[in-house]
Structure formats: C-alpha cells, structure tokens
Structure 1
Amino acid sequence: MNITFSNTTQSDADTLVAIRIAAMRESLERIGRFNPQRARERFIASFDPALCRFIKVDGVQSGFILIRPQVDRWLLDHLYILPEHQRKGIGAAVLRDIFASADMCRMPIRVGALRGSDSNRFYQRNGFIQTDEAEWDIYYVRQPCESKAES
C-alpha cells in the first residue's frame, strides 16, 4: 500500500465536502443528525486549502486530512477516508505519518470525534486518550513520544 498526499485548492471544496459526507453519513444517521447542507456549510466556513491534503492510496483518491497547527498543539480537524477504503489500515498509516512529524516537533495532537461514531474506537486504538466531552463530540489528545535517542 503506497500512501501519498497531494495539495488541495479552493476549487476542491465540493469534492472534499462529498468525501466528508460519505465518510460521516452512517454515524450522523445513527444519531439523527445527518444533514448534508449543514455538513457542507460547517466545512466550507473553516476550509483552508493550505492546510488540507488529499490522501491517495496506490494513486487512488481515498480521503483527506486537514491539520491546524496551533501554538501548543496540532488540531487534527479532519481525517476522512471514503467508506469503500475504510478498514484497510489507511487511517492508521496516515496517523503514523502525522505522529512522526508531531513527535519531531514535540507537539500533542487533539482530535474530536462524533459521539457514537466508530472513529472513537479508532482514535483510542491509535494512542489517543479521551480528555473531555460535549453534547455531540468526544475529544482526545495524543501526547508526543520521546525519541529513543533522548530516552
């Protein structure tokens, strides 16, 4: 499995929204909150193409990621894999790449997951620890690992 990342532009917004809706649909329907228009508006309101990358697996567009660097942490704002590409290890491989960069910068990573979504178990399996909850979301953080040279 060869995972690569490619830049996004403002003109990719509709494609990214479609990926987001496809990836979240089942979880949102489960809690009675599926609304494609709201999903689109929420994404477009904060979309920054400079921070967003398409995820390609063996040349096939499979999802996208958007990380917002902040002063004291990185916010993993979006990580969506299309349903037909889920449960193949792509998300975990993408996280390993992010973790390597975050560890070099000694930055924690924060992420939120929709309550009741399978993504909660995914983030927990991949080293995130729950920090708090809101009405619709559960929040996690992953602390940077020390390098073996420093141990």
Structure 2
Amino acid sequence: MAEWEIRPAAAADVEAVAEVRAVVMRPDLERLGRYDGHLVRQRLRDAFAPEHTWVIESDGAVAGCVALRPAEDAHWLEHFYLTPHLQGGGIGTAVLRELLDRCDRDGLPVRLNVLQGSPARRLYERLGFTLETEDPVDVFMRRDPATAAPPRMVL
C-alpha cells in the first residue's frame, strides 16, 4: 500500500479536492452522458464543508477526500474520492473502515449514494452497505451500525 495520511480539511483545500473529484468522476459521468467539467467542480465547491471533511494525502499531495456529514438519523458519507493511481491499493478500504468504526460507536447508520455502474459500489457492499433505493443515475445505500457479538456464557 502506498504511504498516505488523512487530515482534517481546511477551506483552502476546496480547489484541490474539486480537481480530484473531476478526475475521479469523469469516466462514470461520461458513461452516463452527464460529464460537464465546470459543473462537476462547482457542485463540490457548493457542497464543501471543511468541518465534516478529511483530506487524504499521499507523497505530500492531495490524493482524495471524504466527508461524513451528521444528520438526525444517520451519518451521510459524501465526497469520497481517491485519485485513480491509488485506487485498488487498500487506501480507500482503510479510510472507510476508520470512519465506519467511528459511526458504529455513535450507534447510527451510514447512508450514501453512488453513481449507477460505479466500481466503488463493490467496496461499499464489501463493507456492509446494502441497497435502499435507486434511480437511473444514483444508487442509495445504507449500512447499519455493527454490533458487538453477545458475550459468551462461561459454565
């Protein structure tokens, strides 16, 4: 696995994160006939909340991000992007497991949406997310908090 670290986002990270989003989402959005380079960056800028976002760095450069937005009945996993050359090396799984452990301690489910046909869906399913609903563009998924196994009775 490549060397990486995760840190809290700052407002100054928005442009670097918007660029990562545009690169990562381009193949799926082109496949769906929905890619617009300006719009894909602007949507990130408009939704960027540094207080709920972490930046993933590798070799001293921004390599991705992830946001975990609290809601009344769940956490929303949003803006989870990792540059293509680092995908498939275990970084995304490690980052996601760390965040899911935090959510499990809170006892709240985690919700997300992923584009139809995105390979990221396999990662989410592997980590316990299940389908809630879908439309022609998005798949909405949910993961209930993991619970500890009941204690064993000692005889």
Shift of 1:83: 0.4
Runs in 1 of length 4+ with deviation above 4 angstroms?
A: 57-60
- Which residue of structure 1 aligns with residue 121 of structure 2? 120
Shift of 1:120: 1.7
Task: For structure 2, list consecutive stretches of 5 or more residues without a partner in the other structure.
Answer: none
CA contact (8 A) 1:31 1:116 kept: no
Distance in 2 between residues matched to 1:34 and 1:19, nearest whole Å: 14
Distance in 1 between residues matched to 2:58 and 2:107, nearest whole Å: 28
- Which residue of structure 2 aligns with residue 145 of structure 1? 146
Distance in 2 between residues matched to 1:67 and 1:34, nearest whole Å: 25
TM-score normalised according to structure 1 size? 0.91
Task: For structure 1, list consecutive stretches of 5 or more residues without a partner in the other structure.
Answer: none
Distance in 2 between residues matched to 1:8 and 1:106, nearest whole Å: 25
Is 1:36 matched with 2:28? Answer: no
Shift of 1:147: 2.3
Amino acid paired to 2:66 = I
Deviations 1:25-62 (A, max 9, x none): 11111111111111112111111111111113465532
Shift of 1:74: 0.3
TM-score normalised according to structure 2 size? 0.88
Q: Percent identity?
A: 32
CA contact (8 A) 2:18 2:42 kept: no
- Which residue of structure 1 aligns with residue 105 of structure 2? 104
Is 1:71 matched with 2:72? Answer: yes
Q: How many aligned positions are there?
A: 151
User: Are the structure 2 counterparts of residues 106 and 62 from structure 1 closer, same or farther at C-alpha, using a change threshold of 3 Å?
Assistant: same
- Which residue of structure 2 aligns with residue 54 of structure 1? 55
User: Are the structure 2 counterparts of residues 141 and 42 from structure 1 closer, same or farther at C-alpha, using a change threshold of 3 Å?
Assistant: same
User: Are the structure 2 counterparts of residues 3 and 143 from structure 1 closer, same or farther at C-alpha, using a change threshold of 3 Å?
Assistant: farther
- Which residue of structure 1 aligns with residue 6 of structure 2? 5
CA contact (8 A) 1:103 1:145 kept: yes
CA contact (8 A) 2:4 2:58 kept: yes
Larger radius of gyration: 2
User: Are the structure 2 counterparts of residues 58 and 14 from structure 1 closer, same or farther at C-alpha, using a change threshold of 3 Å?
Assistant: closer
